[in-house]
Amino acid sequence: MPPETCPKTWMQDLGSPAAGADRTFEELLTAVGRDRDRTAFAALFGHFAPRLKAYLRRQGCDAGGAEELVQDVMLLVWRRAETYDPSQASAATWMFTIARNRRIDALRREQRPEIDPADPTLVPDPVESADDGVAARETAGRLRAALRTLPPEQADLLRLAYFEDKPHSLISAEQGIPLGTVKSRLRLAMERLRKAMRDSQ
């Protein structure tokens, strides 16, 4: 079955008590897959998106390319969370593997067949796992506050792209906005989120 789409009130829902409190990242990812839990996804997004971007930058992506890949990765996390098996891998390993594979796909599209998927430099760095519940709770709170700082049009684009699973091309057609503008606005929205979260630390 296709994943359940999220209502337009998801931004307001993120302002309610943290559904991710005291849960590990594995539990949060399971909740996304099982229940389409938006607040659990927000906690995962807030914690992992900057780490995924840093990882992709270390693999040679420029800032814009890394940002777009992070958007793709987090969209896949939302769509594929129901396939996650915590007995097979940690949430971090599962998500960084998706990022690694998307990076390899991007390199192949650039016609660079010399890239070896087994190259050790493409293996994600270890991600901290201690006190996951505390980190998730703190991240969810900071992310909710950061989301409220976004202009409505940017918040709406994030909702369409990440919570209604709409491709950028469809958003462009529905909103009457050029595709490049959709991507640049999403990138700007993510940058503003990260800045707001950094400022709240």
| 36-54 per-position pLDDT tens digit | 999 999 999 999 999 999 9
| 4-46 per-position pLDDT tens digit | 444 333 333 433 334 444 678 999 999 999 999 999 999 999 9
DSSP 131-162: THHHHHHHHHHHHHHHHTTS-HHHHHHHIIII
Lookup: tokens for 48? 């992992």
Check whether 128 has a pLDDT greater than 70: no
The pLDDT of residue 120? 52
Radius of gyration, CA atoms only, the chain: 16
Helix axes 91-109, 63-80, angle to 10 degrees: 130
Question: What is the pTM for the complete model shown?
Answer: 0.52
The pLDDT of residue 7? 32
Going from N- to C-terminal start, the domains of the chain cover 19-199
Q: Domain 19-199: which topology?
A: Rna Polymerase Sigma Factor; Chain: A (1.10.1740)
Confidence of residue 96 (pLDDT cuts 50, 70, 90): very high
